Amino acid sequence: MAAHRLKVAILISGRGSNLQALIDQFGPAAASSPIEIVLVLSNRPEAFGLTRAGRAGIATKTVDHKAFPDRASFDAAMDREIRAAGAELVVLAGFLRLLTDGFIAGWHDRLVNIHPALLPAFKGLHTHARALEAGVRFHGCTVHFVRPEMDTGPIVAQAVVPVRPEDDENSLGLRVLAAEHRLFPLALRLIAEGKVTVEGERAIVRDAAFAGGILFNPLGA
């Protein structure tokens, strides 16, 4: 009998480059995958990510937030679609609407987000510009379970990139995005393989390799 594959719904709002990284690893063309992407759902009908999913042969739905009188009814409509698709885990891959506490509670420890900063630093928007403004020497991205307070929740995995003196928002953002494309599949694979549990408000990862050593930036003479 085939091993159980975790059924995942992916929520997007835009270009979907992270979605593409997940399709490349877990989509129908992947040789073997612990994940089945059962739905890609967008709140914006023109999101390019819908085209990416369609090309890969993955089911898509649009739930346009503009068609709903309030956030609760919009979230309820999304929730219905996600459950109808049989999803066991919901993945936010550049989904740029705030979710209601009710929706989040309905997917407790089964709702994952990627954020373009090393949480808990730089929650919210414009993370790359704010990292440059703060003068930090390292920046990066975080995959975490979602809690009602924005950009909080148990951290599954993080990737770090150096900030270089010549960086602008664009160059730093591209470096972080490249890290996101590697981190997100890695974190979802760990979850799908049952290696991640939430204890208190911390995520514990078993049977994974962890980085060692110290990173310096600048490197010194």
Binding site for ligand GAR (CB under 6 A): 14-18, 93-94, 114-116, 177, 180
Does residue 93 sit in helix, strand or coil?
A: coil
162 close to 152: Cβ distance less than 8 angstroms: no
Minimal distance, residue 201 CB to ligand GAR, in Å: 19
| Residue the block writes with tokens 């609760």 | 72
Give the type of residue at 107: W
Distances (CA, A) of 132 to 11, 33, 37, 124: 29, 38, 36, 15
Indicate the residue among 19 and 203 with the shorter CB distance to ligand GAR.
Answer: 19
SS (H, E, C) 149-207: CCCCCCEEEEEEEECCCCCCHHHHHHHHHHHHHHHHHHHHHHHHCCCEEEECCEEEECC
Query: 50 in helix, strand or coil?
Result: helix
Nearer to ligand GAR, 18 or 43 (CB): 18
Residue 129 Cβ vs ligand GAR, minimum distance, rounded to whole Å: 12
Nearer to ligand GAR, 84 or 98 (CB): 98
Least distance (Å) between residue 111 CB and ligand GAR: 13
Instruction: Provide the minimum distance between the beta carbon of 168 and ligand GAR in the complex, in angstroms, as a whole number.
Output: 16
Active-site position among 65, 115, 144, 181: 115
CA nearest to 180, candidates 137, 153, 141 = 141
The yes-or-no answer on residue 65 being catalytic is no
Tokens of residue 159, six digits:
């990737």
Nearest approach in angstroms of CB 112 to ligand GAR is: 12
Element (H, E) at 81: helix 71-84
Q: Which residue is nearest to ligand GAR (CB)?
A: 94
Instruction: Identify which of residues 77 and 177 has a Cβ nearer to ligand GAR in the complex.
Output: 177
Residue (32 or 158) nearer to ligand GAR, CB: 158
Which positions are annotated as active-site residues?
115
